[in-house]
Amino acid sequence: MTINQNELLMQPGKGASYWFDRDLYTFKAVSEDTSEAYALFEVVVAPQGGGTPPHRHSRENESFYILEGELEFQLEEQTLVATEGTFLHSPKGQLHRFTNISSIPAKILIWVTPAGFEKFIAEVGKSTNSQVTPAPTLSPEDQSQNLLSSMWM
């Protein structure tokens, strides 16, 4: 919900939501809201294997703030466990991934600069109006799309 050109208000539980494999991405700020400066997502990462494969962004910097749970992060050759309150930054070009290795969901904020990556999530993910439905599975066609391959590696 845009208030005016310089301010944005997003109430709790609001924002366009997409299942991206087993993880739920809720957009809190997107390109149109920030003059393409950044996008902000709240992500619920599925337990026992939710997260991303190793990938690089050629255009975006990506920052992560852990709200709940714990995630294993890879930043180039370094692997670490990030817990509640941890902040990580991955500059464009850096190989990175995150994986939920625990038995409970994790919740994180992802800040992407500049904005635009949300368009990829919206195109490849599955839109949902509810944040409590089970995640639909991505089809083999979805997973093998050239777009998916080029964005994640």
Query: Which residue bears the tokens 């990175």?
Result: 96
Confidence of residue 140 (pLDDT cuts 50, 70, 90): low
Q: What is the pLDDT of residues 10-24, one digit of tens each?
A: 888 889 999 999 999
Architecture category of domain 38-128 in CATH:
Sandwich (2.60)
Residue 3 banded pLDDT, cuts 50, 70, 90: very low
Contact in structure between 9 and 3 (CB atoms under 8 Å): yes
- ω into 54 cis (within 30 of 0): no
pLDDT, tens only, 40-57: 999 999 999 999 999 999
Question: How far is 71 from 50, CA to CA, in rounded Å?
Answer: 9
Q: Give strand pairing partners of 90.
A: 62
